[in-house]
Structure 1
Amino acid sequence: MNRLSAYFPLIIVVFLAGTTFWLERIVSNEARNGLGNKRHDPDQIVNQVSIDRFDNTGRRISRITASQLQHYPDDDTAELANPVITLTRDERPTVFSSKTAHADNASKVVVMRDTVRGNRAAGVDSAMQTLETEELTVLTDDEIARTDKPVRMTQGASTLSGIGAEWNNLSGIFTIHHEVRAVIMPKAPQP
C-alpha cells in the first residue's frame, strides 16, 4: 500500500499532462481547420443597455437603448431586444422602436424588425408624424430610415400609405415609393 501511495502524485501529474496535451491538440486542430473563427457565438450579453453618440461639440445626436444586447465578435454585429433609437440632432426628436433589431457596428446600420414604429415630435407649424411598418433600416449617422415593406405614415389627421419609403430626419422629408395612397386633411383655420 505504501508503494501505491508513493506513486499516486506521479499518476495524477501524468494524467493532468495527458489531458492538457489532448485539449491542446483539439484546440489547435479547430484553429488549423478554421472552426474556431467561424462560430457565431456572442462574446457579450448586456441587459438594459444604452448607447449614446455625440457630435464634435459634445452634444448628443442619438441614443440606442435595448432590454438586451448580444454582441458577436466574428462579424462585429449585435442582436437587440426591444430596441429604441432616438435621433436628437434637431429640436424635433425622432424615435424608432421595434421588438428586435440587428445592428452592424462597422456601417452604423440598424435593421429594426417586428412591429416597427416611428414618431417625430410636433413642431411649431407641424403635427406629430408617426410611422408603422414591418422592417426598417436606420442609418444612424445619416439619420435616414428606409424600408421596402408596406408602410403607413400619419401627420395629424392626414395619412399616407404604400410600399417602400424613406424618412430623412435632417430634412424632414418623407417619401413613399410605390402604390401610394393618401388622405390629406385640411389644416384647421387659425383664430
Structure 2
Amino acid sequence: MRERLTAIIAIVLLLILIAASYWYAMQATFSNLRYVPSEDSPDFIASDTTIIDFNEQGVAQTRLQAAEFMHYSNDTILMVKPRATTISPDEPITHAEALKGRSTDAGETFVFEGDVVVSRAASGNTAASRLETQSMTVYPDTNRFVSDDVVEMFSGNDRARGTGMVFDNLSRTVELKSRVTTVIEPRSGSKNLLK
C-alpha cells in the first residue's frame, strides 16, 4: 500500500511538472508574437467622420468629411464619398465632392475620383461657379485643385470646357490647359454689335 501511495504521489508530481513546463513554453511563444499590419488591410475604419484642419492661429481652414475613411499602415487613406470644404473666413467657401478619394501622403494631397464636383459660392461681383470632372487632386494647404481630365466649368450663365485645369481658390483664378471652348452669354443691358 505504501508503494502504491508513493507511485501515485510521483505520478501527480510528474503531471504537475509537465503542466508547468507546457504553460511556460506557451507563455514564451505568445510573448514573442507581434501584430504586423498587412498593407492590404486597414489599421482602422471610421464611418461618417469629419476632420477639421486648423492653421497656426487656431482658425479652421478646411473640413474633410467622408461616408467612410480607411487608414493603412503606409499612411494611405481611402475614402468613400469624400467632401472637402474650405471654411476660412477670408476666402470664398468652396466645396469639392466625389464618389471616392485617396491620399498616399498622409493627407498632404487628396485625389478625388468619379463624378467630381467643385462649387464655389458667389462673393462680391463674382458669380457662383461649378466645375465638373472625373478626377482631381486637392491641395488643402494651398487651396488649389488640379485636374488632367476633361473639365466643364459653369459661372453664372457662362460655361467653358477644356482638358486639364488649375483652380486656385485663393487668387480666384481658373486656368484651363488645352482644347478650350468657351461660351459667354451677353449681359443684360449690353448691346448686340453683330447684326
| Range class of TM-score, shorter chain | 0.7 to 0.9
Write the distance in 2 (CA, Å) between the matches of 1:54 and 1:41: 30
Equivalent position of 1:159 in the other structure? 159
Quote the residue 1:118 is aligned against: 118
- Is 1:101 aligned to residue 101 of structure 2? yes
**Matches for 1:1-191 after TM superposition, within 5 Å:** 10-19=17-26, 36=36, 39-73=39-73, 75-89=74-88, 90-106=90-106, 108-189=108-189
Please report the RMSD computed on the Cα atoms of aligned residues, expressed in angstroms.
2.8
TM-score with structure 2 length normalisation? 0.80
Tell me the TM-score normalized by structure 1. Answer: 0.81
Q: Deviations over 1:39-74 (max 9, x none)?
A: 34311111111111112222211110111111112x
Aligned to 2:5: none
Bigger Rg, structure 1 or 2? 2
Deviation at 1:16, TM superposition (A): 4.5
**Which consecutive segments of 4 or more residues in structure 1 shift more than 6 A?**
2-6
* Superposed displacement of residue 134, structure 1: 0.6
Q: Could you tell me which residue of structure 2 aligns to residue 33 of structure 1?
A: none
Q: Which runs of 5+ in 2 are unaligned?
A: 1-7, 191-195
Gaps of 5+ in 1: 31-35
> Which piece of structure 1 moves more, 139-148 or 89-98?
89-98
Letter in 2 for 1:133: T
Q: Distance in 2 between matches of 1:144 and 1:108?
A: 12
**Counterpart residue type for residue 63 of structure 2:** R
**C-alpha deviation, 1:15, in angstroms:** 4.3
